[in-house]
Structure 1
Amino acid sequence: MKDFRLYAITGEEFHSGRSMVDVMEKAILGGVDIIQLRDKKSSKLDVLKKAQKLRKLTEKHQVTFIVNDHIDVALAVGADGIHVGQDDLPLDEVRKIVGPDMIIGISTHHIDEAKAAEQGGADYIGVGPIFPTNSKEDVVDPVTTTYIQQIEEEITIPYVAIGGIKRHNLKQVMEAGARRVCMITEIVQAEDVQARCEEIIQIMDEQKEALS
């Protein structure tokens, strides 16, 4: 998979009155290089319609498109990848369904889960939640930046830090070793989404240089 820095997940409940496609396009223009559709409440048909729109958008801008949970939808729209959780189908079963080329990402909350994901053939892992977050129901307790440090020491596949990451704590996340971050509300709630993403990228660039 193509490397990435800033990963955005849809969160329509956080930008009432603005279309998902418009918000995500502004995010892409601001520097986001992976978009994930996450919708755990809509009907399958509605999820499919949203995925079709985002697939068109991401193809236009040549950014990676991931679908959360809905393997059938990901296949139907030709998404670049699928993201699953610890309670979803096992990685080997997901790989059988999607084939050898589709990206598979999986959320992890403990080093043992990360090791299993790496050994099971995941293309990348989500590492978190780093901080408390309100953007997901039934979320596990924060794993803190200590988990990032463990990942840095023991895992070789790409990972993205996620969960409660904001501009004010981004440096802390990067100091722990993360070079890829995922944000939801910090991006989609912004009045100017493009400017917000540009600001996040600037912070990342400055911090990377400071740490080098």
Structure 2
Amino acid sequence: MKCDKKAMLLYAVTDRAWVGKQSLYEQVESALKGGATCVQLREKELDDAAFLNEAIDISALCKKYGVPFFINDNVEIAIKCHADGIHVGQEDMEASQVRQRVGDDMMIGVSVHSVEEALEAVKNGADCLGVGAMFSTSTKTDVNVLTKEILRDICAAVDIPVVAIGGIGKSNISRLAGTGVDGVALVSAIFSADDIENECRLLRKLSEEMVNA
């Protein structure tokens, strides 16, 4: 399945740490109402049964809004909930192995940090790439921050959509202009907001301006 670069524009990655007055499902729906163009469900703590039930519900929600739905890391859950995509990191299963498991109809996203990793991911069948961390981030403390030049080089080297991730928010999205990136993947910038729907409207506008600059 080919990935539409427009789906990368405002890529929402869930984080249970911000669940409070809204459930995760309600938070995702608020993000979709505000213009999120893709949703990735990331769960590190839930057991597989709870993860699957949540994935089925949020997959149906994304279908209602016509937005692609990715599962982070867990290939089995992605298959069982009929997700549109699966996203894997460098320490996870290679894209070629994932493809054998999921078939041709599911998109595969891969996290990369260099041109070499990007080219390898494309060779192995990746449909889109996540590049980062672009800025320091509280979500992951063990990552190296990449330069804007590395992001630009990766975008120039591949012919599949690329999304930037890591420490990105409304104060620094514009700094990614001119790299060729197709959008931004955001965690806390979306899900820690008091008004997720309105925050997503602003973030989508800023991402559009950045991509078209």
TM-score range, shorter chain: over 0.9
Correspondent of 2:116 among 112, 115, 136? 112
| 1:208 shift after superposition | 4.5
Change (3 A) 1:176 1:47: same
Alignment of 1:113-152 (within 5 A): 113-136=117-140, 139-152=142-155
Q: Which has the higher contact order (CA 8 A, sep 6+)?
A: 2
The one-letter amino acid paired with 1:70 is N
What residue in structure 2 maps to residue 80 of structure 1? 84
**Which residue, out of 83, 96, 99, partners 1:95?**
99
| Kept after mapping to 2: 8 A contact 1:66/1:80 | yes
Q: Is the 8 A contact 2:114 2:154 kept in 1?
A: no
Structure-2-length-normalised TM-score: 0.93
Equivalent residue number for residue 184 of structure 1: 187
How many residues matched? 209
**Residue 29 of structure 1 aligns to which amino acid in structure 2?**
K
SS in 1 for 2:130: strand
Moved more, 143-152 or 83-92: 143-152
RMSD of Structure 2 on Structure 1 (CA): 1.4
Q: Deviations over 1:54-108 (max 9, x none)?
A: 0111111111000011111111111101011111111111101000110000101
Distance in 1, matches of 2:92 and 2:129, equals 14
Query: CA offsets, 1:16-72, max 9 Å, x none?
Result: 332001111110111111100001121111111110110111111111000011111
1:37 to 2:41 alignment: yes
- Where does the alignment leave 5 or more consecutive residues of structure 2 unmatched? none
Contact 2:71 2:86 (C-alpha < 8 Å) held by counterparts: yes
- Unaligned segments of structure 1, at least 5 residues: none
For residues 157-180 of structure 1, the C-alpha deviation after alignment (integer angstroms, 9 at most, x for no partner) is: 111000000101000012333231
